[in-house]
């Protein structure tokens, strides 16, 4: 049996800067950086009430880690891996990033949100950048041959928006004690509540050791920047388990996913539902053609520039009426279409030859990911949201032989339409041990409540009892 992987860090020069966590001020909104030699100068407005601009210099010269302890490499010399921080994903070649984003456990489980194409679209379009409170500080590990062996999507955040794991109450608790919660470090895919790897490691014989080195570097970076905390949101279940041993607090949440039982048609799926639920869905779907609506599923080159301009109008109508803040720019959608090709599916609704609503989806290795929905301001068509976001997605997954549909965050109304609750994960590391302990106690109670809610909602699902039991056996409690 292989011995446990060990990664030993050789400290880099000290990080200097005042510790602002004991000050009060207003919530920061501007984050910036500039390169000066080997130094990445991070400028942030720290504070909640008055605040003042502080500058912190993070030495970005690579830290060296010696990887030892792998029995499979007993006859070779210890490997050296250098870990550094870059201020843009464009500093990492796309081929290297994507080689790390492949799931080594399940290579066919392609996650489009972890690709260089998706993440660079967020940065290049001005959506996830310093001006919006998302300062990229991606972590990259290279071996002795300068081969990229691991990366971590990481951002210095001045707020908690666009994360879908809600920690505003933690920020208020910090503030009430005269401490500052922002800025914080966040490893995630911005604006995207989709589970996937966060510590992205190339498939090598020593990948477990690289994983450990990257986790150590994340914690070291948290200390160097003197931020309140480090958050890894929507990691894989495997990462969730591993990070527990690295002093991360564990939190669970809930989403609603549809699962494909090798259905050959939508009607075959309906036959797995209880009769009243089956009847309700059929009635909802009949209302679409009755309102003179036509549904189309567009992919790749079928999606033209004018489609993205129209969808951006839909998106802005949704954000203006519900979210209050548009996270994504018009340019993001155009870049996404250009870079992601047929991995993008745009479901559109037409009325009198005019596009009136749409739903954006991305296609993974075995999953259809539903992301955004919107319509024209004056569009009112009962049940169109259900058709565009849920039923069309199910039909597409059946047609493409995909295993599941992830319909995004929140929404108990999804249950009666075939989507069942599943567990999501997040991991949290706090520099202040007192607050860490207090939040840990809170999470213990919250976890019990979330597990109970998942069970209750699962048991009330629309499926026949034998199908529900089958899902329960194959999924377990997910924790």
Answer yes or no: are the C-beta atoms of 233 and 164 closer than 8 Å.
yes
Lowest mean pLDDT among 45-54, 57-66, 231-240, 427-436: 45-54
Residue 63 has a pLDDT of: 82
Contact indicator for 400, 251 with CB cutoff of 8 Å: no
Give the closest residue to 233 by CA, choosing from 424, 34, 438: 424
Instruction: Please give the residue that has the higher pLDDT: either 16 or 413.
Output: 413
Residue 276 lies in a domain: yes
Residue 375 forms part of a structural domain: yes
Element (H, E) at 6: strand 6-10
* 43 touches 53 (CB < 8 A): yes
pLDDT of 251 over the 60 cut: yes
In three-state secondary structure terms, 448 is helix
389 and 364 co-located in one domain = yes
* 462, HSE (Cβ side, Cα atoms, 13 Å): 24
Tell me the C-alpha distance between 114 and 121, whole Å: 12
Q: Which of 402, 404, 429 minimizes the C-alpha distance to 170? A: 429
The confidence score (pLDDT) of residue 7 equals 44
Q: Which of 402, 433, 463 is the last residue of a domain?
A: 402
Average the pLDDT over 275-296 and give the result: 98
What percentage of the chain carries pLDDT values higher than 70? 83
- Please give the model's pTM, rounded to 2 decimal places: 0.87
Q: What is the sign of the dihedral through the CA atoms of 406, 408, 409 and 411? A: negative
Whole-number average pLDDT of the chain: 86
CATH of the domain at 472: 3.40.630.30
Retrieve residue 358's tokens. 């749409």
- 323 pLDDT higher than 90: no
118 in a structural domain: yes
Residue 278 DSSP SS3: helix
Kindly state whether residues 311 and 383 are assigned to the same domain: yes
170 shares its domain with 213: yes
Residues 87 and 208 placed together within one structural domain of the fold: yes
Regarding beta strands 293-299 and 200-201, do their DSSP bridges make them parallel or antiparallel, or are they unpaired? Answer: unpaired
Assess whether pLDDT exceeds 50 at residue 210: yes
Find the helix or strand (DSSP H, E) in which 299 lies.
Answer: strand 293-299
Do residue 279 and residue 237 come from a single domain? Answer: no
Residue corresponding to tokens 């109670």: 445
Assess whether pLDDT exceeds 50 at residue 38.
no
- CA-CA distance, 225 to 19, in Å (whole number)? 9
pLDDT the model gives residue 59: 54
Of 236-245, 285-294, 393-402, 467-476, the poorest mean pLDDT is in 467-476
Q: Do residue 268 and residue 241 come from a single domain?
A: no
**Residue 341 falls inside a structural domain:** yes
Q: In this structure, are 112 and 240 located in the same domain?
A: yes
- Report residue 18's pLDDT band, with 50, 70 and 90 as the boundaries: very low
pLDDT tens string 59-101: 556 688 888 755 455 445 568 899 999 999 999 999 999 999 9
Domain co-membership, 115 together with 194: yes
Query: Is 384 inside a domain boundary?
Result: yes
- CB-CB contact of 420 with 406 (8 Å): no
The structure tokens listed for 475 are: 């999924």
pLDDT at 355 over 50: yes
The residue among 151, 144, 8, 135 whose CA lies nearest residue 66 is 8
| 23 domain residue, yes or no | no
Question: Do the strands 31-36 and 79-86 form a parallel or antiparallel pair, or are they unpaired?
Answer: unpaired
Please give the backbone phi and psi of residue 86, each rounded to the nearest 5 degrees, phi first.
Answer: -120, 150
**Residues 241 and 125 placed together within one structural domain of the fold:** yes
H or E segment and range at residue 351? strand 344-351
Same structural domain for residues 199 and 319?
no
User: What is the phi/psi pair of residue 119, to 5°?
Assistant: -65, -35
Supply φ then ψ for residue 185, to 5 degrees.
Answer: -100, 140
- Scanning 226-292, the segments in alpha helix (DSSP H) are 237-243, 266-270, 275-290
Same domain, 237 and 372: no
Is residue 105 classed exposed, middle or buried when 0-12, 13-18 and 19+ CB atoms within 10 A define those classes? exposed
Tokens 């068509």 sit at which residue?
381
Q: What is the pLDDT of residue 77?
A: 59
In a domain, residue 246? The reply is: yes
If you average pLDDT over residues 395-400, what whole number do you get? Answer: 98
Contacts of 18 (CB under 8 A, 6+ apart): 54
Given a cut of 60, whether residue 24 has pLDDT beyond it is no
Residue with structure tokens 């997910």? 478
Domain span at residue 179 reads 62-68+76-253+423-478
- pLDDT beyond 60 at 283: yes
Percent of the chain with pLDDT over 90: 77
Q: Which of 369, 402, 435 is the last residue of a domain?
A: 402
Q: How many domains does the chain have?
A: 2
- pLDDT, position 134: 97
Rounded to whole angstroms, how far apart are CA atoms 52 and 34? 19
**pLDDT over threshold 50, residue 186:** yes
Same domain? For 127 and 238 the reply is yes
Q: Does residue 165 fall inside a structural domain? A: yes
Domain end residue (candidates: 402, 431, 465): 402
- Give me the torsion for CA of 428, 433, 437, 440, rounded to 10°: 0
Using the predicted structure, report yes or no on whether residue 48 has a pLDDT greater than 50. Answer: no
Rounded to whole angstroms, the Cα distance separating 171 from 25 reads 13
Write out the two tokens for 365. Answer: 């290795």
Close Cβ partners of 293 (under 8 Å, ≥ 6 residues apart): 349, 350, 351, 356, 381, 384, 387
């Amino acid at each position: 049996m292989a011995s446990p992987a060990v990664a030993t860090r050789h400290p880099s020069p000290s990080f200097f800067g005042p510790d602002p966590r004991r000050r009060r001020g207003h919530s920061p909104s501007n984050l910036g950086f500039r390169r000066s030699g080997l130094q990445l100068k991070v400028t942030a407005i720290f504070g909640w009430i008055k605040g003042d601009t502080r500058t912190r210099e993070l030495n970005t010269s690579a830290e060296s880690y010696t990887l030892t302890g792998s029995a499979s490499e007993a006859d070779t010399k210890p490997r050296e891996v250098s870990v550094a921080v870059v201020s843009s994903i464009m500093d990492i070649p796309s081929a290297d990033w994507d080689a790390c984003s492949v799931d080594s456990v399940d290579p066919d489980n392609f996650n489009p949100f972890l690709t260089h194409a998706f993440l660079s679209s967020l940065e290049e379009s001005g959506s996830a950048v310093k001006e919006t409170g998302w300062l990229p500080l991606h972590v990259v590990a290279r071996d002795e041959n300068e081969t990229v062996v691991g990366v971590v999507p990481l951002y210095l955040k001045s707020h908690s928006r666009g994360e879908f794991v809600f920690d505003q109450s933690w920020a208020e608790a910090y503030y009430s004690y005269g401490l500052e919660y922002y800025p914080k470090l966040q490893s995630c895919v911005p604006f995207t509540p989709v589970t996937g790897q966060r510590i992205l490691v190339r498939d090598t014989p020593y990948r477990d050791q690289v994983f450990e080195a990257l986790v150590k570097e994340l914690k070291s970076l948290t200390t160097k920047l003197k931020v309140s905390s480090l958050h890894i949101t929507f990691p894989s279940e495997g990462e969730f388990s591993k990070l527990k041993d690295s002093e991360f607090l564990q939190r669970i949440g809930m989403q609603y996913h549809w699962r494909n039982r090798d259905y050959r048609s939508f009607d075959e799926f309906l036959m797995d539902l209880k009769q009243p639920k089956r009847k309700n869905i059929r009635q909802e779907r009949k209302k679409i053609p009755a309102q003179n609506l036509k549904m189309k599923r567009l992919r790749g080159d079928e999606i033209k520039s004018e489609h993205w301009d129209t969808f951006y109008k839909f998106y802005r109508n949704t954000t203006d009426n519900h979210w209050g803040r548009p996270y994504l720019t018009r340019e993001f959608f155009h870049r996404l279409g250009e870079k992601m090709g047929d991995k993008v599916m745009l479901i559109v609704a037409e009325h009198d030859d005019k596009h009136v609503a749409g739903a954006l989806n991305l296609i993974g290795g075995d999953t259809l990911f539903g992301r955004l929905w919107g319509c024209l301001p004056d569009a009112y068509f009962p049940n169109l949201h259900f058709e565009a976001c849920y039923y069309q997605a199910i039909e597409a997954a059946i047609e493409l032989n995909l295993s599941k549909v992830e319909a995004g965050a929140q929404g108990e109304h999804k249950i009666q339409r075939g989507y069942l609750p599943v567990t999501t994960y997040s991991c949290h590391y706090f520099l202040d041990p007192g607050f860490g302990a207090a939040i840990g106690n809170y999470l213990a109670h919250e976890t019990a409540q979330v597990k109970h809610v998942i069970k209750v909602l699962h048991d009330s699902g629309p499926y026949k009892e034998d199908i529900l039991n089958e899902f329960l056996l194959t999924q377990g409690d997910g924790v």
